[in-house]
Amino acid sequence: MTTDQVNKGQELSELSDNLSRIEALSKRLANIMAHRKPVRPNLQGPGQEFYTKTAGTIWADMMANPSKLFEHQVAFWGKTLEHAIEAQAALASGEFKAPEDTGPKDRRFSNPLWDSHPYYNYLKQQYQITSQTMEEALKSVDGLDSDDTKRLEFFTHQIIDMMSPTNFLATNPDAMELAVETNGQSLVKGLENLIADLEANDGELLVKLVDESAFEVGKNIATTPGQVVYRNRMMELIQYAPTTEKVHATPLIIFPPWINKFYIMDLKEQNSLIKWIVDQGYTLFVVSWVNPDASYADVGMGDYIEEGYLAAIREVKAITGQKKVNAIGYCIAGTTLSLTLSLMKKRGDKSVNSATFFTTLTDFSDQGEVGVFLDDDFVGGIEEEVNERGYLDSFFMSRTFSYLRPNDLIYGPAINSYMLGKTPPAFDLLYWNGDSTNLPAKMTVEYLRGLCQGNRFAQGDFELLDEHLSIADVDVPLCAIACETDHIAAWKSSYDGMRQMGSKDKTFIVSQSGHIAGIINPPSKKKYGHYTNDDWPAASDDWMEGATFNEGSWWGRWEAWLSKRSGKQIDARDIGDSSQKPLAPAPGTYVVAKPNT
């Protein structure tokens, strides 16, 4: 028997074994799907009312303007026919090649076969023709209000992205080539990855984006030295060890969002905002929120304020012996910081000397891209879910934000993991992104109904803790940093809210990039610049029109602003005081604890 015959026999044996494993894994997959925990229909897509209203409007528009439909159809048929004739002509030439491809470039179709192979090229071009037709049809729909138009465009694009030929095994050349090359081993590994992700989420698909085994909180991420100096049921308060001989007298507290964990600001030494702040000579405290379970069902925004914000401010004042603190709020924690400042104004509490807001919304009249999920159909489904379970599982928030960038956060990773059988990358940012938290039932409803939908804080009447809170009551010196391409907290909406605050000392900065990269932007990287403008015109576009672009990170500019409001230089403080001994080393226990679900 020749060497080639031996090798061929081994390959056939490997292929047979892998096909048997695929069959066994497929049965396991079918069993998982059969026992999949049902999810409320109104958490899976828009409500029936939206479909009915949209379909009715499109039908009425078609009846009133039938020529529009005919124009779209004729154009689609014409392009499709022309494409088919070109493909046939290329094959009739006697060469196995695709016709000239003048379509748009798309990184999903980076394999050379999409351009050179007649089959794959035909699929790609037809997909692009169909997608273009759908997008043009969307633009011509009349009769829908702006919110419904945004939703129609968003969910139509979800369908367009989902139906890309790259998302299916038989029409993905990368997957088919690798399957042949590995005698089916890539498909076995891909099925194993798929089953593992489904089992981790009770049969719901949430694509794992990162190799979780590569990271451990407190070991190779979130490693800036510090100690937990206070703990209650809502949060742990971490004080970080000084790295300078002198520090500013006024301490600084960071309130991170409780939708995610605080260590986005402390992933590694090179890009740690926490370490950078400490290195600038500040006594820094950071709140680490508890990951709630059903026992927190009755915890609302007021509890986060009383047992989180006000408790942290009280403890920091006691530990440092200062009458005032400076505070930072990130995302929803910035929204809640603004509520806290309004409440403190009502109560005559002047403990906060200045406030900084990272990517913070306080005026929700323009909800941005996330607004497609804030109509009554989705919010009603969330309300039903939390009333039954006592909390909103982190799965729903993770999935929602993933659909804002589906090709990057769903389909691309799914192709790599399930079709190519690859292990997800070891990327610290994606590890943090997957380490999300639950939300208490009462707080979730208050936030969605009262703030996002009702916009009551911006309207001056958000009722909380026996007070009517108003955005106009926020009158401490403030600095707000928004991000130019933020798809969660649009910079224009952030500007509108900050402009309405009552402070006479306001600074607004727009960083390049998005919700995370625009904030975690260390000066050493020299990557993203920022815009500044001392004026506050009524329109955000006018602010940007008159803004100055500055190279490099905003961190140094903000620190110069903060230092002027942080008092004199004093000897660096030890961690804790005589009444508050350290309870645990940073990053604490809450950040790694798993809730009882």
Instruction: Give me the mean pLDDT over the 567-575 stretch.
Output: 95
Residue ending a domain, among 158, 182, 206, is 182
Residue 18 pLDDT:
76
Name the residue range of residue 243's domain.
226-365+455-585
Q: Note whether residue 590 is domain-resident.
A: no
Least confident of 90-99, 219-228, 443-452, 579-588: 90-99
Flag whether pLDDT at 328 surpasses 80: yes
Active site residue 331: yes
Flag whether pLDDT at 147 surpasses 60: yes
Residue 273 pLDDT:
97
Instruction: Give me the mean pLDDT over the 199-210 stretch.
Output: 83
Residue 4 binned pLDDT confidence (cut-offs 50, 70, 90): low
Report how far residue 347's alpha carbon sits from residue 466's, in angstroms, rounded to the nearest whole number: 11
54 shares its domain with 176: yes
Residue 11 pLDDT:
62
For the stretch 281-309, pLDDT in tens is 999 999 999 999 999 999 999 999 999 99
Flag whether pLDDT at 3 surpasses 60: no
Q: Which of 331, 452, 479, 483 is catalytic?
A: 331
Report how far residue 435's alpha carbon sits from residue 441's, in angstroms, rounded to the nearest whole number: 20
Residue 597 binned pLDDT confidence (cut-offs 50, 70, 90): low
136 shares its domain with 263: no
Residue 499 pLDDT:
96
The more confident residue out of 363 and 19 is 363
Q: Note whether residue 9 is domain-resident.
A: no
Flag whether pLDDT at 173 surpasses 70: yes
Report how far residue 282's alpha carbon sits from residue 273's, in angstroms, rounded to the nearest whole number: 12
232 shares its domain with 169: no
For residues 100-138, b (16+ Cβ closer than 10 Å) or e, as one string?
ebebeeeebbebebbbebbebbbbbbbbbbebbbbeebe
134 shares its domain with 273: no
Q: How many secondary structure helices (H) and strands (E) does the chain include? A: 21, 17
The more confident residue out of 203 and 267 is 267
358 shares its domain with 507: yes
Q: Note whether residue 378 is domain-resident.
A: no
Domain count, the chain: 2
Residue 569: how many CB atoms within 10 A of its CB?
14
Least confident of 70-74, 494-498, 514-518, 584-588: 70-74
Give which of 312, 305, 266 is closest to 287, Cα–Cα: 312
For the stretch 408-461, pLDDT in tens is 989 999 999 999 999 988 889 889 988 889 999 999 999 999 999 999 999 999
Residues 247, 248, 251, 257, Cα dihedral to 10°: -90
How many CA within 13 A on the CB side of residue 548?
Answer: 8
Residue 99 pLDDT:
79
For the stretch 237-266, pLDDT in tens is 999 999 999 999 999 999 999 999 999 999
Report how far residue 424's alpha carbon sits from residue 428's, in angstroms, rounded to the nearest whole number: 12
Cα dist from 235 to 144, 232, 282, whole Å: 45, 6, 22
Contact 532, 556 (CB under 8 A): no
The more confident residue out of 328 and 408 is 328
Judged on CB neighbours under 10 Å (0-12, 13-18, 19+), 41 is: exposed
By DSSP bridging, strand 284-289 and strand 252-255 are: parallel
SS (H, E, C) 12-58: HHHHHHHHHHHHHHHHHHHHHHHCCCCCCHHHCCCCHHHHHHHHHHH
Flag whether pLDDT at 1 surpasses 70: no
Q: Note whether residue 220 is domain-resident.
A: no
Tell me the average pLDDT of the chain. 91
Residue 419: how many CB atoms within 10 A of its CB?
23
By DSSP bridging, strand 478-483 and strand 467-469 are: unpaired
Residue 339 pLDDT:
98
For every residue of 360-409, DSSP letters joined together read: --S--SS-GGGGGG-SHHHHHHHHHHHHHHSEE-HHHHHHHHHTTSHIII
Say which residue the tokens 């273009």 belong to.
132
